[in-house]
Structure 1
Amino acid sequence: MISCSFVQYQEKTCKPMLTSQRKQTILQLLAQDGQVLAAPLAATFGVSEDTIRRDLRELAAEGLLQRVHGGALPASSAVASFSERRALESTGKRAIGIAAASMIAPGQIVIIDGGTTSAELVKHIPRSLAATVVTHSPTVAVALVDHPSIDVIMIGGRLYKHSIVNVGAAAIEAMSHIHADIYFMGVTGVHPTAGLSTGDLEEAYVKRALAARAAETVVLASMDKLNAASAYSIGDVTLAQTIVVERETDTALTDALEAAGVSVVRA
């Protein structure tokens, strides 16, 4: 088989190549364009769509992309365990946490999601703040023990260990009695067309239910989560009114979100 370069692919003069070379080119295109479609890839490589779908399946199995109907999107990198992710220092997540904490007003009822960015948010809530925090995260609840004026309401359920949050039918039933001012949502993927996503089906249900119980949903999204997707959809990006990102985030990653009507706050 004759191989070809990435430039040849772009110029549509690419000839058949080895599977490994084809996969590498697919990943290059995915990084460049933010998505790939099976039918155009098959036509350009001169192979069947079944061959391309097999390539995408194998790349997805390696965690290198997220398959969607008709093609693939960049995969979220937020797949490590909670302890591993928490051990990684991130000035970006810290800045997002500080910005989010400043959005909480005295007297509000606030829902705080689980995850490492939410943990940064809780660190920066003033000890003098008087508010009610509703959470399905044991980590968040324990972190607020020393805040004398914050009333903590803990939502129970089955513990999803990746994010250390409670999920399941019991959690969703408990949420139905809440009317919150603001919900700080953690996600593993934010994509203008694939929407908000996460890596667990039950967690996706819980996040969607929480968003329905708040007047405003604010998504906390470090750069590794932007223009990426995970297996389970929470909802369209417009499920959030605001997305908090790192200050240095490329505008190419946020323009489409703002075009959809979502407010972008740079921390």
Structure 2
Amino acid sequence: MLTTHRKKAILAALKRDGQVIAKALSESFGVSEDTIRRDLRELASDGLLQRVHGGALPSSPAAADFVQRQQISTVAKSAIARKAAELILPGQVVILDGGTTSVQLAKQLPSTLQATVVTHSPSIAVELVGHPHIEVVLIGGRLFKHSVVTVGAVAIEAIGHIRADVYFMGVTGVHPTAGLSTGDLEEAYIKRALAARAAEVVVLASAEKINSASAYVIAEVTAASTIVVERETPEALTAPLAALGITILRT
């Protein structure tokens, strides 16, 4: 089998099964595991999959910068944001992550809601400037322009002084075994620190993020108590997450 045909077959198996194992592929194609690992490396460099120990998982398509992501799955993000906004109670201290879905969540907060929003996203802070009853706490640090959020030691230090009721986390990958992940190392550290300061973690995940993985692990998937997904997200994708005790909230 030609290399190009083998790579197409690998991607087809990945789409069908949700993961591929290098040993099984080598036996199926009658080639060495070294050959399969080379194929996986090349496919990963093209952004077509995420390599993991022993094989590969689907790569998250949510790796574009903030401006580009604003044009992706806009209807789904709005629906997820509306459902997530229903979880916020008056008087709570709420952490809103950076990201386009979180900006939509800020837009959905009712004008009568009295709460405190902590965020490391200038975009969310600006969105809430006109809200009459929301107190905004903006975490400082170095601006990571790709996602328009603050990162670094200053942000980590500030996060350590917060005690929140709920953290609405944005991710690029949600996988039952590979966990919650994102495409930048510093963002992963920030998200992990924020999760540690909240009594509850709610993950906002459009369908393309479920059962996919990015390079940097935030936490085990069970760090999330609830995952908000689109109504049409296939049950086959969410069932393994629900089996772990995570509440799946559909829009």
**What do residues 101-159 of structure 1 show as CA deviations (whole Å, max 9, x unaligned)?**
11111100000001011111111001221110000000001100001211100111111
CA distance in 1, matches of 2:143, 2:87: 28
Contact kept in structure 2, 1:175 and 1:209, CA below 8 Å: yes
Indicate the SS of the match to 1:180.
coil
Of the three residues 26, 29, 52, the one matched with 2:10 is: 26
CA distance in 2, matches of 1:112, 1:29: 37
TM-score, normalisation: structure 1? 0.93
Alignment of 1:1-267 (within 5 A): 17-88=1-72, 90-267=74-251
CA distance in 2, matches of 1:26, 1:160: 35
Shift of 1:242: 0.2
User: What amino acid maps onto 1:200 in structure 2?
Assistant: D
Indicate the SS of the match to 2:165.
strand
User: What amino acid maps onto 2:166 in structure 1?
Assistant: I
**1:6 is matched with which residue?**
none
Contact kept in structure 2, 1:127 and 1:146, CA below 8 Å: no
Contact kept in structure 1, 2:58 and 2:211, CA below 8 Å: yes
Contact kept in structure 2, 1:107 and 1:130, CA below 8 Å: yes
Shift of 1:89: 5.4
CA distance in 2, matches of 1:246, 1:37: 29
Q: Which has the larger radius of gyration?
A: 1
Shift of 1:161: 1.8
The 1:125/1:28 distance shift into structure 2, 3 A limit, reads same
Contact kept in structure 1, 2:73 and 2:206, CA below 8 Å: no
Runs of 4+ aligned structure 1 residues displaced above 6 Å come to none
Over the aligned positions, Cα root-mean-square deviation in angstroms equals 0.8
**What do residues 155-205 of structure 1 show as CA deviations (whole Å, max 9, x unaligned)?**
111112222111111111101111100000000000111010000001001
CA distance in 2, matches of 1:20, 1:38: 17
CA distance in 2, matches of 1:246, 1:197: 19
Indicate the SS of the match to 2:39.
helix
The 1:52/1:256 distance shift into structure 2, 3 A limit, reads same
Indicate the SS of the match to 1:214.
coil
Q: How many pairs were matched up?
A: 251
State the percentage of identical aligned residues: 67
